[in-house]
Structure 1
Amino acid sequence: MFKRIFTRCAVFAAGCAASLAVMAAQPNVVILATGGTIAGAGAEATNSATYQAAKVPVDKLIAGVPELAKVAAVRGEQVFQIASESFTNEHLLALGKRVSALVKQADVDGIVITHGTDTLEETAYFLNLVIKSDKPIVLVGSMRPGTAMSADGMLNLYNAVAAAAAKDARGKGVLVAMNDELNSGRDVSKMINIQTGAFKSPWGPLGMIVEGRNYWFRLPAKRHTVNSEFDIDKIDSLPLVGIAYGHGNVADTAYKALAASGAKAIIHAGTGNGSVAKNVVAGLRELRSQGVQIIRSSHVNAGGFVLRNAEQPDDQYDWVVAHDLNPQKARILATVALTKTGDSKELQRIFWEY
């Protein structure tokens, strides 16, 4: 009898030791929660587009996906609890500095940031520019609140943690994990507001994540993270950069108002190839003579590609083109770049390289 009990105890102890060994071997992933739809709740299960964002705290998000424990040792921090359309430059700086502090810790292998989808692409690109680490940083959101039928948040969060825990995600820049895809934080944008496949890159995803495993197909070509000349630890404030939308019958009213409010640069969200209406050109040239940087981008959703000296003589006017960056991403790069230089030629180099 005693022998049988001893045997059972030994088996139990061995099992515990094995479990502890697995836990000790697991990568450590920190989830930084900022709010958004992934933390939202609707009144009924049929409410997939009508709900309140930023309601569920990070501990409940983690508890709602117990499978996370199979891929990483996870802990959470509630950084903000807001809808992402309310993100400001101050929020970006605070989040960036917290991420920078965490990636320096030996006991942190990866970071996941839960985020509202409205400005998720902006935060992802900002972190891609200013965080000096090759550790995986993965942003994740959802298009439906967790209370809705076919809610996408649970799987998105599981995939994000699995991606952040994987060694093969290192060195690929800041990632966005949505709808089974792994996209570059530089390229990806929200293309529609009511479907789970909302986030797309005009140049395609970097990879896919299936049942917790990453499958990679391409690498980011532009400078990012460890190869970036920008460092969040050296940035304490961000200059104001505004966006003015180009359209038929457009006037220069918005551009002048942005400059009067203190904007150091204005992103022209132009039609087609960043086209500028002829009745706006004189106003933009005047603003440039006053020291305001003029940056031509395109609001073409599927990938506006602005060519220098096409449509407008950028060299003559001393304007900058945003390359393939959409207006909101161009704003992020401009506000980061202006912390280091106010020279238009240097700004153009930065837009080519990032």
Structure 2
Amino acid sequence: MNTSISSSASASAALPRIVVLATGGTIAGSSSDATSTAGYQAGVIGVGELLDAVPSLSSVAQIQSEQIASIDSKDMTLELWSTLAQRVNVLLATDAVDGIVITHGTDTLEETAYLLHLTVKSTKPVVLTAAMRPSTALSADGPLNLLNAVTVAASQAAHGQGVLVAFNNRIHSARDVVKTSTYAIDAFQSPEVGALGWVQDGRVDFHRSAMRPHTVASEFSVGANWPLVDIVSSYAGASRVPVDALVDAGVRGIVVAGTGNGSIHATVQQALVDAVAHGVAVVRASRVGSGHVMRNGAASDDALGFVAAGSLNPYKARVLLMLTLAMGTSGPTALQRAFDTY
């Protein structure tokens, strides 16, 4: 009997040590009606209850947990981004932590993931996961997503892959992944390039690796001060009012969600040219769900002083622009270099 207990304890001690950081979201959502998958309150279930719903986690890793926030991710703030990034770096710098899982709301998950992809300074796995159905719903997807995220974070194969998103049995790179559905449980996809791999029944398999610099190869870090960067859209009949208001407010950068290949309504484009003349950085992205924005393609970037976002959507382009401006980098040539690199 004593031998059995000792063996069990020894096996548990040999498991990877994973810290689960909870921020709220639908995965921690609750409704009084089990058939309700849209009308619920996000972020009300604590991390302890999330973990208790997946008892098999104890066979995958030694788990510690922290409640970083309890929010609906639509309300994510820059201050919370700083707190989360700094906490992740502190934890990963210790020998007592082998990897981190972050539970998050789906609405801004892709932005948080990309921010961490550029600012985490470790090769240890960092895996975000979430849910499309609240914890109280029939066939809630959160428990299995959480189990799979811990499985990925505990896998040696995930080391050096950058920040990952484990969702609906797929493993995505933080740079590529986007939310593509308002309701489906396979809401997250990586357009153009596809997922990095998959996780199922305890098995983790990577088909490719993230190619662009990230984590320890990234030059970026998170500080206390964020430059003001905002997003405007181009569409039929668009006016220059939003751009002028942002310039008057002292914005440091503007990302435009253009049509097609980042094309911009003539009225908005002239407003953005005027913004550049006032020292505002302007990045052309696209409101289309996939593809890339080519430099000097749908606009004469060299002549206008614009930057092309490449394959980053407007929301991730904003993250990269904020981090780049925060470093003191300025001017379209230097900014374009950052977008071409990351």
**Is the TM value for this pair above 0.5?**
yes
Segments of 5+ residues of structure 1 without an aligned counterpart are 1-11
Shift of 1:14: 0.9
Residue number in structure 1 paired with 2:265: 277
Residue number in structure 1 paired with 2:56: 67
Deviations 1:150-192 (A, max 9, x none): 1100000000001101111000000001100000011100011
Pair 1:317-2:304 in alignment? yes
> Identity percentage over the alignment?
45
User: Which of 320, 338, 341 is matched with 1:350 structurally?
Assistant: 338
Pairing of 1:325-344 with structure 2 (within 5 A): 325-340=312-327, 341-344=329-332
Q: Is the 8 A contact 1:125 1:174 kept in 2?
A: yes
User: Which of 196, 200, 214 is matched with 2:204 structurally?
Assistant: 214
Shift of 1:231: 2.5
State the distance in 1 between where 2:250 and 2:186 align.
37
Specify the SS of the correspondent of 2:326.
Answer: coil
User: Which of 128, 135, 139 is matched with 2:117 structurally?
Assistant: 128
What letter corresponds to residue 190 of structure 1 in structure 2? K
What letter corresponds to residue 313 of structure 2 in structure 1? N
State the distance in 2 between where 1:326 and 1:304 align.
9
Residue number in structure 1 paired with 2:141: 152
User: Which of 41, 46, 50 is matched with 2:30 structurally?
Assistant: 41
Residue number in structure 2 paired with 1:8: none
Residue number in structure 2 paired with 1:304: 291
Residue number in structure 1 paired with 2:218: 228
State the distance in 2 between where 1:34 and 1:247 align.
34
Pair 1:267-2:255 in alignment? yes
Q: Is the 8 A contact 2:20 2:66 kept in 1?
A: yes
State the distance in 1 between where 2:178 and 2:78 align.
19
Q: Is the 8 A contact 1:304 1:326 kept in 2?
A: no
Q: Is the 8 A contact 1:93 1:237 kept in 2?
A: no
State the distance in 2 between where 1:272 and 1:310 align.
11
Q: Is the 8 A contact 1:39 1:53 kept in 2?
A: yes
What's the RMSD between the two structures over aligned residues? 0.8
Residue number in structure 2 paired with 1:9: none
Shift of 1:257: 1.5
TM-score scaled by length of structure 2: 0.98
Residue number in structure 1 paired with 2:236: 248
Specify the SS of the correspondent of 2:282.
Answer: strand
Segments of 5+ residues of structure 2 without an aligned counterpart are none
Specify the SS of the correspondent of 1:168.
Answer: helix
Q: Is the 8 A contact 1:44 1:148 kept in 2?
A: yes
What letter corresponds to residue 198 of structure 2 in structure 1? M
State the distance in 2 between where 1:121 and 1:128 align.
10
Q: Is the 8 A contact 1:272 1:304 kept in 2?
A: no
Regions of 4+ moved over 6 Å: none
Deviations 1:40-62 (A, max 9, x none): 01121110111110010011111
Q: Is the 8 A contact 1:273 1:310 kept in 2?
A: yes
What letter corresponds to residue 281 of structure 1 in structure 2? Q
State the distance in 2 between where 1:144 and 1:258 align.
36
Deviations 1:219-278 (A, max 9, x none): 11111001101133xx22111110001111111111111222221110000010000111
State the distance in 1 between where 2:291 and 2:280 align.
23
Pair 1:167-2:156 in alignment? yes
Specify the SS of the correspondent of 1:75.
Answer: strand
State the distance in 2 between where 1:15 and 1:278 align.
75
Specify the SS of the correspondent of 2:80.
Answer: helix
The alignment covers a number of residue pairs equal to 340
Shift of 1:19: 0.5
State the distance in 2 between where 1:208 and 1:73 align.
22
Shift of 1:308: 0.5
State the distance in 2 between where 1:188 and 1:280 align.
29
Shift of 1:343: 2.5
Residue number in structure 2 paired with 1:105: 94
Higher radius of gyration, 1 or 2: 1
Shift of 1:334: 0.5
State the distance in 1 between where 2:229 and 2:16 align.
39
What letter corresponds to residue 86 of structure 1 in structure 2? D
Residue number in structure 2 paired with 1:258: 246
Pair 1:286-2:263 in alignment? no
Q: Is the 8 A contact 2:79 2:224 kept in 1?
A: no
Residue number in structure 1 paired with 2:225: 237
Pair 1:90-2:76 in alignment? no
Specify the SS of the correspondent of 1:338.
Answer: helix
What letter corresponds to residue 299 of structure 1 in structure 2? R
State the distance in 1 between where 2:248 and 2:155 align.
48
Larger CA deviation: 193-202 vs 341-350: 341-350
Shift of 1:281: 2.1
TM-score scaled by length of structure 1: 0.95
